[in-house]
Amino acid sequence: MGSIICVDEKDEHSPTNELIYEVVDGQQRLTTISILLAAIYTKYTNEVIAKNPKIKKDDEYIIKLNSIRQRLIKKVSFSGNSLPCWGIFKSGKVTYCLRVQPSTQESNSDDYKFLLGEIRILPEVPSPRNCGNRRIYRAYKYFHKHIPDNYKGLNDLLERIYRLSFIHIAEASQSKAFLLFETLNYRGVPLSAIDIIKNKMLATLESKYAVKIDDSYEEWQKLLNNLPKDSDQDRFLRQFYNAFKFDSSIKIDKVTRATRSNIIAIYESLIKEDARRIFDQLGEKAEIYNQLIDPEEYPVSPLNNSLVNLERISAVPSYTFLLYLFSLDKSNFAEPKVKEKTVELMCKYYFRRNITDYPSTRELDAINIDLVEKCQKEIAEGRKISYSFISSLILKGKGKPSTIAKLKELLADNLFYNNDGMARYALAKLDETSHSREYDPNLWERNEKGLFVWTVEHIFPQGKNIPLDWIDMMADGDKEEAEKIQGEWVHSLGNLTLSGYNSKLSNQSFVKKQRKAVANIFGNEIHIGYKNGLALNNIEFNVGGKKYSLATAKGWKKKHIEARNKIIVEMLLKLFKFENE
Assess contact for 271 and 201: CB atoms under 8 A: yes
From CA 567, how far away is CA 569, in angstroms rounded?
5
| Residue 436 Ramachandran class (φ > 0 left, ψ -120 to 50 alpha, else beta) | beta
Provide the angle, in degrees to the nearest 10, between the axes of the packed helices 263-293 and 319-327.
70
* Local structure of 526: helix, strand or coil: strand
Q: What is the pLDDT of residue 194?
A: 85
What does pTM read for this prediction? 0.72
Q: What is the pLDDT of residue 573?
A: 97
Question: Tens digits of per-residue pLDDT, 458-511?
Answer: 999 998 899 999 999 999 999 999 999 999 999 999 999 998 766 656 678 888
* Burial of residue 59 (number of CB atoms within 10 Å: 0-12, 13-18, 19+): exposed
Assess contact for 542 and 502: CB atoms under 8 A: no
From CA 168, how far away is CA 59, in angstroms rounded?
32
* Local structure of 95: helix, strand or coil: strand
From CA 390, how far away is CA 280, in angstroms rounded?
29
Lowest mean pLDDT among 34-48, 331-345, 361-375, 495-509: 495-509
Assess contact for 84 and 202: CB atoms under 8 A: no
Share of the chain above pLDDT 70, in %: 90
From CA 12, how far away is CA 502, in angstroms rounded?
66
**What is the band of 87 on the pLDDT scale with cuts at 50, 70, 90?**
low
**What is the band of 519 on the pLDDT scale with cuts at 50, 70, 90?**
very low
Assess contact for 514 and 531: CB atoms under 8 A: yes
Segments in 163-298 forming alpha helices (H): 174-184, 193-209, 213-225, 230-244, 263-293
User: Looking at the predicted structure, is the pLDDT value of residue 413 above 90?
Assistant: yes
Question: Tens digits of per-residue pLDDT, 287-304?
Answer: 999 999 999 999 999 999
> What is the secondary structure of 300-323 as a DSSP string?
--HHHHHHHHHHHTT-GGGHHHHH
Give the length of the chain. Answer: 581
Query: Among 169, 167, 168, 227, which residue's Cα sits nearest to residue 197?
Result: 227
Question: Tens digits of per-residue pLDDT, 147-195?
Answer: 999 999 999 999 999 999 998 888 877 667 666 665 565 555 556 788 8
3-state secondary structure string across 4-18: EEEECCCCCCCCCCC
Lowest mean pLDDT among 80-89, 236-245, 336-345, 403-412: 80-89
Lowest mean pLDDT among 75-89, 369-383, 478-492: 75-89
In this prediction, residues 281-285 reach a mean pLDDT of 97
